[in-house]
Chain A
Amino acid sequence: MSATTTTHIPAATRERPPSGLVGPVAWMRANLFGSWISSAVSLVLLYVILRAGWSLLDWGVIHAVWTVPQGANGADTTACRDAIGTGACWALVPEKYRFILFGFYPFAQQWRPAIVIVLFLAMFAISANRRFWRIELLYAWLVALVAIGVLMWGGILGMPYVAQDQWGGLPITLILATFGLAFAFPLAILVALGRRSTGMPAVKLICVVYVELIRGVPLISLLFMASVLFPLFLPEGIDIDKLLRAQVAIILFAAAYLAEVVRAGLQALPKGQGEAADALGLSYGKKTLLIVLPQALKLVIPPLVNTFIGFFKDTSLVLIIGIFDLLKSGLTAVADPNWQSFGTEVYILLAVIYFAFCFAMSKYSRGLERSLDRGHRR
């Protein structure tokens, strides 16, 4: 036995932090007025924010025109015209929202695209819940896809046929973005895996060429090719739907970008993970599905969602090949002579709609990251 005795060290007593370190006043002192330069910057920014906020409030609420009377030739927008420069013309919204949302879709039938929008939102909500991430969800989406087609085209169940060139507005944007990304994502995973394949150089080459070729051209030129050039190569009499052609162009374009994001995730995964799976006797397919992809995709959620959000907005480029997406419908709505000067209001409305979708995606992805993070946190 050793002769030394251990000294008892009392455990640190728990104390609350000194009162000067918490609370809003302390926070402001620490973060806004820590030094004279930070105080000066804070005050200048406060002034700018208040001025801009006040102008916006003044224009958007206080001097805004909310309703206009109906005249002989549609709405009488004199009140709005008088207010140009001083107040917003929100009377445009109740007057034009159906055109912005549904484009030239026959007015009496617009309940159909309205249901399509609701269907999309419901499917998004269901798909967002990880409890429903089962094979049945895929079937549900296939059913939804058919339902969307039936509702939009009609021609059966007593619904009159509506040609595709009459579709417009938000359903078009949702269709292009949702199915664009839904098909691009699995394709991107295959391309990324192919590009990293060591055993099959031909597959690797094809994947590299595909990614570099598609990434090297602007989306607009791909859309032009899809709408103008592609039909020239088809045999006489065969005509593929213009929306479908644009959809395919978007899928191919998005897949090339997403493939690089997925590849980054595959590369970031420690080599030992694949080796451990190999050593346990897992086949390539099982290793990829059970070990590699769940981890690799989790790693790249932020850039994936970044790309998703980018493509959601990039679908608006289809307006240049004459497809009436949300943006084009909005622009067309203010082509009406009565409403010609109120582009700003429409842009703000469109921005709010786009923002709502993009913000939801961003918010959701952060939640998903957090809930998937448990494994790596100690």
Chain B
Amino acid sequence: MSQTATLDRAGTSNEAPAIVLDKVNKWYGTMHVLRDVTMTVGQKERVVVCGPSGSGKSTMIRCINRLETHQEGHIIVDGTELTDDLRALDTIRREVGMVFQSFNLFPHLTILENCTLAPIWVRKTPKAEAEEIAMEYLRKVKIPEQAKKYPGQLSGGQQQRVAIARALCMKPKIMLFDEPTSALDPEMIKEVLDTMIGLAETGMTMVCVTHEMGFARQVADRVVFMDRGEIVESGPPTKMFEDPQTDRLKLFLSQILRGH
């Protein structure tokens, strides 16, 4: 585990790290899905998590906003530790946006309502102001003209961009992406990745589970490779892709490249 590599960003800045995972363990029944996962994500750092399916990467990212609970170890997000305390959880979820593989837009609400729901009900933003913010983000993801439509009327790529806008409307400090392009047709992947690259350029702290190695190369400060529930290797993308240290990463990269 490259402790030095994880500390380069968090360590050089004086701010507290955005996310700290410290020896996190999780079991589904007897299956050990997260093994001593330790990782620090610095403020404004962009981390791409990759690994074969079933390696625990989705579980790990879902633990960060407690969609899954961990059984051992500590997770500290934005200075607050995740425990059974619901108030702490609410605080963290307000500051952490999440984008899912299957978009999970609310099909019974319009695009605009999808984006204003949480600001109005959670942040208590006045409706007019929430709509203004929502339109601003819909413009940023380049679909303001769809605001009055329902999710079912949009293409997959458009839905995922709305999902990103919806998360951003809460003005989160951290954004989590759980395989955001895996459910998309190839021609729609680019529009979503472009949106994510744009977001990365704004200095958002991002943790992104993805197989898009081009995206990782372009925006990631660090790539974390997971396999069988543990972090095997991590480092800057160029080093990881061009000079992998472990056999498991070498195997994974060869499989990914063969697939492309």
Contacts and interface: CB of A to CB of B under 8 A. Distances in A.
B150 A375 contact: yes
A275 B170 contact: no
Interface string B36-71: 000000000000000000000000000001010000
Candidate in A277, A281, A376 with the most chain B CB atoms within 10 angstroms = A281
Given A278-B67, A281-B94, A377-B152, A273 B104 contact: yes
A378 B153 contact: yes
B67 A280 contact: no
Nearest to A373: B152
A377 B108 CA distance: 11
Interface string B117-137: 110011000000000000000
Interface residues of B, number: 27
Given A273-B104, A273-B106, A290-B121, A280 B153 contact: no
A1 interface: no
A282 B98 contact: no
Given A290-B121, A376-B152, A377-B152, A280 B166 contact: yes
Interface string B83-106: 000000010011011101010111
- Main secondary structure on A side of the interface with B: helix
Given A376-B152, A378-B153, A281 B170 contact: yes
B229 interface: no
A295 B65 contact: no
B170 A375 contact: no
A294 interface: yes
B180 interface: no
B17 interface: no
Among B94, B118, B166, B170, max chain A CB count under 10 A is at: B118
A217 B199 CA distance: 60
B73 interface: no
A351 B71 CA distance: 62
A375 B151 contact: yes
Contacts, number: 70
A294 B117 CA distance: 14
B198 interface: no
Nearest to A376: B152
Interface residues of A, number: 24
Contact of A280 (B151, B152, B170): B170
B122 A279 contact: no
Interface in A270-326: 270, 272-273, 275-283, 286, 290-291, 294-295, 298
B108 A282 contact: no
B13 to A, nearest CB: 27
A282 B98 CA distance: 13
B108 A298 contact: yes
B107 interface: yes
A291 B153 CA distance: 19
Given A272-B100, A272-B102, A294 B93 contact: no
A147 B242 CA distance: 81
A280 B122 contact: yes
A281 B93 contact: yes
B113 to A, nearest CB: 10
B104 A374 contact: no
Contact of B90 (A277, A281, A290, A377): A281
B90 A272 contact: no
| Most chain B beta-carbon contacts within 10 A, residue among A276, A277, A282 | A276
Contacts of B150: 374-376
Contact of A279 (B98, B108, B109, B153): B98
A275 B152 contact: no
Interface string B218-256: 000000000000000000000000000000000000000
A337 to B, nearest CB: 60
Interface in A186-234: none
B97 to A, nearest CB: 7
A283 B90 contact: yes
Given A280-B170, A281-B122, A282-B122, A275 B90 contact: no
Contacts of A272: 100, 102, 104
Given A276-B100, A375-B151, A281 B108 contact: no
A183 B151 CA distance: 34
Contacts of A282: 117-118, 121-122
Nearest to B105: A276
A278 B118 CA distance: 10
Nearest to B119: A280
A148 to B, nearest CB: 34
A298 to B, nearest CB: 7
Contacts of A378: 152-153
A290 B150 CA distance: 16
B93 A280 contact: yes
Contacts of A291: 106
A372 to B, nearest CB: 8
A291 B29 CA distance: 30
Interface in B152-197: 152-153, 166-167, 170
Given A295-B108, A375-B152, A279 B65 contact: yes
Contact of A281 (B104, B107, B118, B166): B118
A378 B107 CA distance: 11
A235 B118 CA distance: 52
Question: Lowest 5 CB-CB distances: which A-B pairs, in order?
Answer: A276-B104, A280-B118, A281-B93, A272-B104, A279-B98
Given A270-B102, A281-B93, 5 more contacts: A276-B104, A278-B67, A279-B96, A286-B121, A376-B152
10 contacts: A276-B100, A276-B105, A279-B65, A281-B90, A282-B118, A282-B121, A286-B121, A295-B106, A375-B152, A376-B107
Interface of B: 65, 67, 90, 93-94, 96-98, 100, 102, 104-109, 117-118, 121-122, 150-153, 166-167, 170
